[in-house]
Structure 1
Amino acid sequence: MTLTHCAMKALIFSFLLSFLAIPLVAQPQAWNIQREVVRIPMRDGVSLEAILYKPAGKGRFPAIVYRTPYGKDEYDGYAMFPLAAAKEGFAVFLVDVRGRFGSEGEFRAYHQERPDGYDLIEWVGKQPYVNGRVGTYGGSYPGIVQWLALSEAPEALKAAAPDMTPINSHYFYYFGGAFSMPWLDWFMPFIVPDLRKKANDTSGPWHDGEAYDDWVKERESWYKHRPLSDMPLLKKYAPYYYDWLSHPDKSDWWDFASVEKDFGKMQAPALLLSGWYDAAYGPLGAIQAFQEMKTKAATAMARENTTLILGPWNHTSITVRKTNFGEVDFGPSAGFDFDRVLIDWFTIHLKKEEAPMPDPVSVFVMGANEWKTFSDWPVPNIESTTFYLAAGADNKSGKLVLQLSKKAKTMSYTFDPNNPVYDKSFEKSYPFDQREIEAREDVLVFTSEVLEEDIEVVGLVEAALEVSSSAKDTDFHIVLCDVYPDGKSINLSGLDAGYLRMRYREGLERQVLMEPEKVYPISIDNMATANLFKAGHRIRLYITSSSFPHYDPNPNTGTNIATEANLIPAVNKVHVGGKNASKLILPTVKK
């Protein structure tokens, strides 16, 4: 079902609300609201500080909770949602998580968020001005804390809206087995300054704006610092960072921030949102969470009312005016009034016990630049279309073809981790012309013929490759692009998606080194997108071995990566045609 010109409120909620007589909580002088600061006790005696907005006058209202490590006061300085929601009859709590800003205790990223989330939500639900029904919202860290609270099943929690978050903490830290470098960009400007302030430490800035400016000046050198485990920046204020480095394999150790095993406990439905250019864990987390909630959640309400929205956005706040990202204008339909959608979502689930939902999956198809709704994910009416990788006129450029070539060929490049592929959009991914990257000597490019008819792709993209290397360990990275008639090559996801560290080719739970020059089949399928490749365009896949500074470049030594200081080149090969048939598998919409 195509909805080209409808606003997203209509797409998800207007039909429903027009037919449901939802009784609103009494709102005396509805535009009058009040603000106060409250303290919320935790089970161990620590108290969290919160800003509360609620309707003025007497009444019992549904509550909405936002928990953040970034400072409730800063959020309160610009966010419109808390005031808008209060004017529509909600009590809204903006809470500093444990150990941050106005809240007591020690901050240790994610470790205390399960019990604190439970205690906070139950306390809020029992306040005399709350009707016992609580919702939560927020993205990234404020989204992850919602999953952790959902896993504790507080009775008062009736709806959640975790956006742009993972559900598996291991791939939050080690995507495809490679360590995520942006944790430095998180700690240094956004976490460490307030910790310095609390310690009365004048060795650096106390405010994130100043800290960010300082960090930008020096971050490039720290990205290149080796060994990773010897990097001194976080020894004092985030020593657990080094614990992360010492646990590269997926294991129960990572359960402190993971909810993969917990969906059977979750009782409240979730509104899940991410973007095709969000950090790679975002769309994958939303998709996986939707599938898990639909099949495993503890209540019919949660299973039947969880909703998935995937748009053209990156890791950002979303408004109706945000339609242009990077070098692509996605048109007026791409705009999205997320605040309005949230209010409608909480109106349904906090002011009325049950409400049947329309199609639960909404996807923005790039290229067509329109929204479509579906009954499920993977979306119905999808088939796999295979493009085989074939050799071209030289060792660097190849073809994407529908018929397998019987002629086997090896295409190779030298990957030097001292000179990795650099993503200029690394802070917040966006679409841009990839031809400068594609021109590098360490990038193989495979392009289809000009399309005679449209091809619509919606879902997970997979590259099933046959590869070898001169090294015992190396990385492979794929990028899917839409090549326009004028030649520009636009990436269809962030450049942190589509990544694999070879020692984890058999699974993230254990490391298996390569035998140099042996050919290995691998699958890289941690990339999601939706795009209409129009007639006259071409499909392109490029393959390389780094995406910096998203991930630490593989040293190619086969040693412990966290403690390795030496980075050596490797000759990496992709085998095409014949029995070693590398291929690109696209989820295409049947015509």
Structure 2
Amino acid sequence: MRATWRGLPARRYDTGFEPGLVVPAADGSPLLTDHYFPRAEGDFPTLLVRSPYGRGLPWSPMYGMLFAEQGFHVVLQSCRGTGGSGGRFDLWRNEPADGLATVAWLREQPWFTGRLGTVGPSYLGYVQWALALDPPPELRAMVVQAGLHDPYDLFHSGGALRLENALAVGAGMTYQHRGTGPLLRATLRLRRRLRAITDARPLRGAYVSALGEIPWLDGALAHPDADDPYWRGAALGAAAERLNVPTCLVTGWHDALAGQTLQQYARLRAAGCETALLVGSWTHTSALREGWPEVFAESLAWLRAHLCADPSALRPTRVRVQVEGLGAWRDLDDWPPSRETASWFAAPDGRLAPREPAGSGPLAGFRYDPDDPTPSVGGPLLSGAAGPRDNSALEAREDVLTFTGPPLAEPLDVLGPVSARLRISTDTGYADVFTRLCDVDPRGRSTNVCDGHTRLRTTPRTSAEFTDTAEIAEVAEASEIAEIAEIAEIAEIAEIAVPMSATAHRFPAGHRVRWQISGGAHPRYARGTGSGEPALDATELLPVRVTVHPGSALLLPRPDGAGAPEPGSASGR
């Protein structure tokens, strides 16, 4: 494992290994547990790592061995119903009780000193928040790496199904704890059948051909409402609102859980909890591959500071972010560094302007056809397709609008949460809206920076409700409707805000800022059907005409009080 990365700290201790220990869960089920430890005299703190993904690769070398050789007991445990542990796995319901049951077992071990920390990524972060709901007195430090606290948000976004990520979660949770071979075969089946699964009508049960029946996945997919009793008790964000355990957070700008990590940071800061944040130019998986030297160093420094009274490796600032487009790391006192924003307005002819343009007519429109859904390209996925990608082919489609600023005379830094304010109408009252910030280089290559998605529901109004014939003509032209008489129903103009996640990105001089707007990103999100039917059971697909109106703006965080640059030359698509 050491040969995989450069820059890992030197080994301090030889290590020992006790495999297959049995720890009783809260209901008495046997939880299989491996114990890694330094082969040396002395008292060493303990790290608890609870996982539904098994206890083999990569968890054994990356967490068991590497941390043990730095002077920690490491308790690596398979969650209930996984990796040989008894009982039935439930996506979230058992973790608080089983975590406390494991700590009770630790208290009986002769090598346990009462100094406890937790560490781990993804669902291994979720079990840390579960323990933090009622933190035991021994818990003195947490390191949540690309961690989850809200399962609903992993599967749904404002009622829209995060389809591709949901399928990846189903594959990982079901097969990874069975070993590398079963996981690889399931992943390949899913990849081969992905289009047939995601295009199926209805979607319900379509995944079974690749993954087999997964009852908990059926439940997660079938409840798109965050207030549904099904999700009661699943979200653990409240733990951060009252926590006083020092907590280090790690994520990547293209991590599917980046938004949850930044929420955790904000809640910890509001609670006055000691916290640190590291954000690299990573996806959910690359943080534990290419980013592992930085992630491991950050984690180790935090754990030594709070479990071993050795703060020598802690960095001086609370926040460190990697600025994309620059490649350098930047230390910050807090996140976000500024709460001010600068507006970039959609303007005629595909321009993006720092001032709102004059005029009241529609700016542009497109026809979204759910039978040929706008595809997803890159972004915060759980698969290897995640991250920055060339959007040129996507933007050449007729169902994708772009508004592009002039070449920048000087670099533009964007640090903080990005959002969009849209004034939009549809002819059916139903539409999904996907909006994305892109960086266009001097050769015209458009690369995604961050994005957001929302579901629009408005009340249609008939053409008879328009009192101005000029308005009808403008809407017709923008919506590419040949005859005004074809406008049977046109939705009212809706004003919507779309969070587009956060970033730290430098647009170099000569680059251009681009705002991309479309009717979806399939299969990252289950396609909007145009009919209002729930995605899981929809069989009817209706095309939707979407029109963008003046006043629509891209809101970029404004570091150090800087505004949007003055336009040089106008630039469209």
Tell me the distance in 2 between the aligned counterparts of 1:484 and 1:35. Answer: 54
Structure 1 residue 558 corresponds to structure 2 residue 510: no
Counterpart residue number, 1:178:
160
- Which of 208, 213, 216 is the matching residue for 1:240? 216
Counterpart residue number, 1:20:
none
Report the Cα offset of residue 219 of structure 1: 2.1
- Which of 368, 390, 406 is the matching residue for 2:358? 406
Tell me the distance in 1 between the aligned counterparts of 2:39 and 2:327. Answer: 43
Report the Cα offset of residue 354 of structure 1: 8.5
- Which of 368, 384, 392 is the matching residue for 2:326? 368
Query: Deviation digits for residues 227-286 of structure 1, max 9, x if unmatched?
Result: 23353629974223333344212216324321233334423122111111111xx22111
Which stretches of structure 1, 4 residues or more, deviate above 6 A after TM superposition?
7-10, 353-357
Higher mean displacement: 165-174 or 445-454: 165-174
The secondary structure found in structure 2 opposite 1:148 is: helix
Higher mean displacement: 53-62 or 172-181: 53-62
- Counterpart amino acid of residue 51 in structure 1: D
Counterpart residue number, 1:343:
300
- Counterpart amino acid of residue 554 in structure 1: G
Distance 1:114 1:419, change over 3 A: same
Report the Cα offset of residue 550 of structure 1: 0.9
Give the conservation status (yes or no) of the 8 Å contact 1:63–1:125.
Answer: no
The secondary structure found in structure 2 opposite 1:138 is: strand
Report the Cα offset of residue 192 of structure 1: 3.5
- Counterpart amino acid of residue 258 in structure 1: A
Give the conservation status (yes or no) of the 8 Å contact 2:15–2:65.
Answer: no
Report the Cα offset of residue 558 of structure 1: 1.7
Counterpart residue number, 2:290:
322
Structure 1 residue 33 corresponds to structure 2 residue 16: yes
Question: 1:53-202 maps to which residues of 2 (within 5 A)?
Answer: 53-76=36-59, 79-186=61-168, 189-193=171-175
Tell me the distance in 2 between the aligned counterparts of 1:537 and 1:556. Answer: 36
The secondary structure found in structure 1 opposite 2:528 is: coil
Structure 1 residue 256 corresponds to structure 2 residue 214: no
Distance 1:242 1:85, change over 3 A: closer
Give the conservation status (yes or no) of the 8 Å contact 1:469–1:570.
Answer: yes
Structure 1 residue 499 corresponds to structure 2 residue 453: yes
Counterpart residue number, 1:588:
558
Tell me the distance in 2 between the aligned counterparts of 1:209 and 1:348. Answer: 38
Structure 1 residue 430 corresponds to structure 2 residue 406: no
Give the conservation status (yes or no) of the 8 Å contact 2:198–2:523.
Answer: yes
The secondary structure found in structure 2 opposite 1:307 is: strand
Distance 1:166 1:57, change over 3 A: closer
Tell me the distance in 2 between the aligned counterparts of 1:353 and 1:513. Answer: 61
- The two structures, once aligned, show a CA RMSD in angstroms of 2.8
Question: 1:436-451 maps to which residues of 2 (within 5 A)?
Answer: 436-451=393-408
Report the Cα offset of residue 120 of structure 1: 1.8
Query: Deviation digits for residues 91-148 of structure 1, max 9, x if unmatched?
Result: 0111111100221110111221121122223432542102111111111111122112
Tell me the distance in 2 between the aligned counterparts of 1:99 and 1:587. Answer: 45
Query: Deviation digits for residues 392-449 of structure 1, max 9, x if unmatched?
Result: 0xxxxx1111121111232110101121222354523121211110110000000001
Distance 1:264 1:287, change over 3 A: closer
Counterpart residue number, 2:252:
275
Structure 1 unmatched runs, 5+: 1-6, 11-26, 199-204, 324-334, 393-397, 504-511
Distance 1:188 1:295, change over 3 A: closer
Query: Deviation digits for residues 470-502 of structure 1, max 9, x if unmatched?
Result: 123210011111111111111113xxx411011
The secondary structure found in structure 1 opposite 2:124 is: helix
> How many corresponding residue pairs?
519
- Counterpart amino acid of residue 501 in structure 2: M
Query: Deviation digits for residues 504-545 of structure 1, max 9, x if unmatched?
Result: xxxxxxxx7666421000001142111111211110010001
Q: TM-score, normalised by structure 2?
A: 0.84
- Counterpart amino acid of residue 359 in structure 1: T
Distance 1:225 1:584, change over 3 A: same
Report the Cα offset of residue 553 of structure 1: 0.3
Structure 1 residue 210 corresponds to structure 2 residue 166: no
Higher mean displacement: 151-160 or 527-536: 151-160
Distance 1:466 1:372, change over 3 A: same
Distance 1:226 1:165, change over 3 A: farther
- Counterpart amino acid of residue 307 in structure 1: A
Report the Cα offset of residue 51 of structure 1: 1.4
The secondary structure found in structure 2 opposite 1:257 is: coil
Query: Deviation digits for residues 197-237 of structure 1, max 9, x if unmatched?
Result: 89xxxxxx982122222222222211112223353629974
Q: TM-score, normalised by structure 1?
A: 0.81
Tell me the distance in 2 between the aligned counterparts of 1:57 and 1:170. Answer: 44
